Amino acid sequence: MTVLAYEIMTPSIKAVPQSWTMDRLARFLTDNEITGSPVTDESGEIVGIATLKDITEFRWNATRSDAGKELTTEEQQEARRLRMVLFEEMGKVPVEVRDIMTPIVLSVDERTPVRDIANIMMKEHLHRIFVTRDAKITGIVTTYDMLKVISDEELTERCARNN
- 9 in a domain, yes or no? yes
The larger pLDDT score, comparing residue 18 to residue 43, is at 18
* Beta-sheet strands, E only, within 13-56: 16-17, 36-40, 46-51
Position 119 in a domain: yes
Of the candidate ranges 20-29, 35-44, 61-70, 132-141, the one whose mean pLDDT is the lowest: 61-70
pLDDT band at residue 93 under the 50/70/90 scheme:
low
| Percentage of the chain modeled with pLDDT above 70 | 88
- What average pLDDT is seen over the chain? 85
| Cα 78 from Cα 137, distance rounded (Å) | 48
**Nearest 5°: phi and psi at 143?**
-60, -35
User: Total structural domains in the chain?
Assistant: 1
Q: Is residue 147 in a domain? A: yes
Residue 155 lies in a domain: yes
Specify if 82 maps to a domain: no
Residue 77 lies in a domain: no
Query: Is 45 a member of any domain?
Result: yes
151: buried, middle or exposed (CB in 10 Å: 19+, 13-18, 0-12)? exposed
Domain with residue 32: its CATH number is 3.10.580.10
Instruction: Give me the DSSP letters along 79-119.
Output: HHHHHHHHHHHHHHSPPBHHHHSB----EEETT-BHHHHHH
**CA dist., res. 37 & res. 40, Å (int):** 10
36-85 confidence digits (pLDDT tens):
899 999 988 889 999 998 988 887 765 555 545 577 788 778 877 777 77
| Angular region, 130: left φ>0, alpha ψ -120 to 50, beta rest | beta
Q: Specify the DSSP class assigned to residue 141.
A: E
Has residue 68 been placed in a domain?
Answer: no
Full residue range of the structural domain in which residue 142 is found: 5-56+96-161
- State mean pLDDT over 25-42: 91
